[in-house]
A and B are shown apart, each in its own frame.
Chain A
């Protein structure tokens, strides 16, 4: 299964790209509208892209009344990414959005590097959302957690159905002459190729900690089918494409067919058969 990473595609400006995915993941919404951060919000660095968008979104009410109906017209599986600053914020969105049949999954963004971290613990947020919605809940975690596997088992115990791994890393880029930060907020989220080994390690240890029993969406620097296969081998059951989409609208189809080829070349009839292959030496 190939998805987009939240915040890396707008299905309303590029429906053709959205339809080439197995599900569309919307950009994180929060209870109130957020104007996002000041310009500049983007700067390229070696091996990756630094962003500080600041979870710009129209807020729950406008999203529900104006955006969601348009997304529903795409007639494809929808994942809605949920943000907030406390457990009640997340629960409020899950309760409201969770009513809609069109929504397959609620992804809880517990990890945006561009807003102040939610005060509540990840497990507490998941429990609050579980209490108000029967929908599948995916917890999206930061690769900067000191022990991501421990948090992963915690959110699963609290009622999460799956994991989305990983969000971007905190990074900084300086202007080449003035040596001042390039982004207005100085520090931003670092995504792209540099994240690949970090994402692999996160997926690997969370798969191990949950004994392969929960679905995991792997993401971070995926640019090719081989990158996707690596994440699946580490334990991902689906793969999401993020920054790669900015420069390559054909990435979903290309990665899908490369993935099938790469899997076959290694003796797997389907990519899904490679899930967890990285763990076999330890399983024995």
Chain B
């Protein structure tokens, strides 16, 4: 698994996709990691970095899909091509992608990890749910996905029978998915300050155990965590 690194990267593009902004960075030597893993992005004028899922990892590039919900995300959406930004990753545990009967389920900005997942998994079936038509414009990142808009719920698009669900979206959606597919791999969210287990800000309770999402998640039921995250090895690898 790729060791996380902190690097400074130039923004190679920024495009509006409905409500969201796709921020493209020059990848350089950074490993993109696995679908469901994330990077901490340094946001100009902000004290702690913010977590974002790897959305696309095309050749020489790394892209993040940003939903402007607050000061830092709005700032990120305003960044321009040519500016530089610090980032740290890949972090956390991603999805297991080698499943037999995959179905990717995304809600709202929860679409973010799936363009990359779809690329790696060879275009598996995908269902996406959005609140508004404008949000749903993001579905163009995954042209073959089946899309619904509220009042229809994305869980209504999940077929019956044995499937291996990979899901990312708001918490109520994750709970609904879990009720239908108890073994689903679910990408959870909580505010994070560090992304490497230092602050205990991201702890959630899952199956009776409290877990640091940045270490044991964000995908729960996904890949097992690998510890330690930041070890001497990293230097050796980075130096080689």
User: Which one, A7, A15, A42, contacts B228 given CB within 8 A?
Assistant: A15
B229 partner residues in chain A, CB cutoff 8 A:
13-14
A51 partner residues in chain B, CB cutoff 8 A:
193, 199, 201
- Give the complex CA separation of A27 and B200 in angstroms: 10
- Give the complex CA separation of A53 and B203 in angstroms: 9
Q: Is the CB of A247 within 8 A of B200?
A: no
Q: What 1/0 flags go to B30-48 for Cβ under 8 Å of A? A: 0000000000101000111
Instruction: Check: B239 CB closer than 8 A to any chain A CB.
Output: no
Nearest CB of chain A from residue B69's CB, rounded to whole Å: 10
Instruction: Check: A36 CB closer than 8 A to any chain B CB.
Output: yes
Q: What 1/0 flags go to A19-58 for Cβ under 8 Å of B? A: 1000000010000000110011111100111010100100
Nearest CB of chain B from residue A107's CB, rounded to whole Å: 17
User: Which one, B6, B192, B227, contacts A42 given CB within 8 A?
Assistant: B192
Q: Is the CB of A13 within 8 A of B230?
A: yes
- Give the complex CA separation of A47 and B46 in angstroms: 8
A12 partner residues in chain B, CB cutoff 8 A:
197, 227-228
Instruction: Check: A282 CB closer than 8 A to any chain B CB.
Output: no
User: Which one, A7, A8, A27, A36, contacts B203 given CB within 8 A?
Assistant: A36
Interface set, chain B 118-171, CB cutoff 8 A to A: none
Interface set, chain B 204-228, CB cutoff 8 A to A: 204-205, 210, 215, 227-228
User: Which one, A14, A42, A245, contacts B191 given CB within 8 A?
Assistant: A42
- Give the complex CA separation of A246 and B196 in angstroms: 8
- Give the complex CA separation of A193 and B48 in angstroms: 12
Interface set, chain B 179-208, CB cutoff 8 A to A: 190-194, 196-205
User: Which one, B48, B198, B231, contacts A44 given CB within 8 A?
Assistant: B48
A14 partner residues in chain B, CB cutoff 8 A:
196-198, 228-231
Instruction: Check: B98 CB closer than 8 A to any chain A CB.
Output: no
B71 partner residues in chain A, CB cutoff 8 A:
44, 176
A16 partner residues in chain B, CB cutoff 8 A:
230-232, 234-235
Nearest chain B residue, comparing its CB with the CB of A45: B47
Q: Is the CB of A13 within 8 A of B197?
A: yes
Instruction: Check: B29 CB closer than 8 A to any chain A CB.
Output: no
Most chain-B Cβ atoms within 10 A of its Cβ — which of A17, A43, A193, A247? A247
Most chain-A Cβ atoms within 10 A of its Cβ — which of B198, B203, B235? B198
Instruction: Check: A217 CB closer than 8 A to any chain B CB.
Output: no
- Give the complex CA separation of A36 and B227 in angstroms: 22
A56 partner residues in chain B, CB cutoff 8 A:
200, 203, 210
B6 partner residues in chain A, CB cutoff 8 A:
249-250
Interface set, chain A 189-215, CB cutoff 8 A to B: 192-193
Nearest chain B residue, comparing its CB with the CB of A177: B70
Nearest CB of chain A from residue B91's CB, rounded to whole Å: 11
Known A13-B215, A56-B210: A8·B47 in contact at CB below 8 Å? no
Q: Is the CB of A246 within 8 A of B193?
A: yes
- Give the complex CA separation of A192 and B196 in angstroms: 19
Instruction: Check: B107 CB closer than 8 A to any chain A CB.
Output: no
A249 partner residues in chain B, CB cutoff 8 A:
6, 88, 196, 230
Instruction: Check: A243 CB closer than 8 A to any chain B CB.
Output: yes
Nearest CB of chain A from residue B41's CB, rounded to whole Å: 10
Q: Is the CB of A39 within 8 A of B47?
A: no
Q: Is the CB of B48 within 8 A of A247?
A: yes
Nearest chain A residue, comparing its CB with the CB of B42: A247
Q: Is the CB of A13 within 8 A of B227?
A: yes
Nearest CB of chain A from residue B186's CB, rounded to whole Å: 15
Instruction: Check: B17 CB closer than 8 A to any chain A CB.
Output: no
A176 partner residues in chain B, CB cutoff 8 A:
70-71
Q: Is the CB of A41 within 8 A of B201?
A: yes
Instruction: Check: B49 CB closer than 8 A to any chain A CB.
Output: yes
- Give the complex CA separation of A134 and B97 in angstroms: 54
User: Which one, A8, A15, A35, A193, contacts B232 given CB within 8 A?
Assistant: A15
Q: Top 6 A-B pairs ranked by shortest CB distance?
A: A13-B197, A14-B230, A42-B201, A246-B194, A42-B191, A246-B193
Chain B residues within 8 Å of A, Cβ to Cβ: 6, 40, 42, 46-49, 70-72, 88, 190-194, 196-205, 210, 215, 227-232, 234-235
17 pairs across A/B with beta carbons < 8 Å? A9-B198, A10-B198, A12-B228, A13-B196, A14-B196, A14-B230, A16-B231, A16-B235, A17-B230, A19-B232, A35-B210, A42-B201, A43-B191, A44-B46, A47-B47, A53-B200, A249-B6
